[in-house]
Amino acid sequence: MGMVGRLQQISPERLSEFIRDPQIAYEYIRASDRQHTSAMIDQIMDDPEKFVAGLGLGKPRDISAAEKEQFKQELKQRHEQFMSALDSIRAKRQTGPQLVKKDKRTSPEEPIKIFSMEKDWHILHYILNGTAEGGGGPLAYVVLGGTELPDREGIMSYGPARYLTPEQVKAAASALAAADSAALAKRFDVRDANAKRIYGLAYAGGPTTISPEEVMGFVEPVRDFYTEASHDGNAMLFYLS
């Protein structure tokens, strides 16, 4: 199945709550992840080709019924494992505030604003920064930047969620808007990327070069998501599931 990267817009008020009590953040992620996964499964069932095209990462292609079913089952399995781990941890908690399931603090805002980068999140970070992690300037914020929300219960299988403040979101959105696709494509070095163990290269077919058009296929939907978040004054979460 592998690590799937997701971005989620949240309000500044919601972020303040998460910083004060990170456990609320993970309850919130749990609830929104459930709704998002259910929506994706419904879309796959209704129109799998449109779903693949809508991901925006890589070239859209026709998928077979077997691939559709496999993807659907992967989503369900990943979702069930994530929910099971959270439920187990919650059952073992002996101290601290017990969160009410329908508490407005942990119920997702409507509509849920999630962008799934699937298994391409690390490739995107490398395209933007030329690094496995970190980087210089606000392009480093886009995927792996920001600040960790402590995951003291060990809820997330692949490390804590991270957040960007609204100010950092604005800086990332501006940097993405100014990014030159030709320059980014020219800088892509598959040997260097493999040496830096960039996750997802094998999944993406091991490209030796990336054209400006293909770069924008990675960058544009994320740029649009950040532009929307910046316009609305939102903060951003990034997490792997």
63, 52 contact by CB (below 8 A): yes
Q: Domain count for the chain, please give it.
A: 1
> How do residues 15-43 score in pLDDT, each as one tens digit?
999 999 999 998 888 888 776 665 555 55
What pLDDT score does 102 carry?
41
> How do residues 173-213 score in pLDDT, each as one tens digit?
999 999 998 999 888 888 898 889 998 776 555 566 788 88
Residue 241 has pLDDT above 70, yes or no: yes
**Whole-number Å distance between alpha carbons of 169 and 173:** 6
Whole-structure pTM value: 0.72
Tell me the mean pLDDT in the region 147-165: 92
Burial of 62 (0-12, 13-18, 19+ CB in 10 A): exposed
Domain with 119 in it: 5-240
Q: Which of 79-83, 129-133, 223-227 has the lowest mean pLDDT?
A: 79-83
Whichever domain contains 107, its CATH number is 3.40.1760.10
Which ranges of the chain would DSSP assign to H, the alpha helix? 12-20, 22-46, 48-55, 65-92, 121-129, 166-178, 181-187, 190-195, 212-232
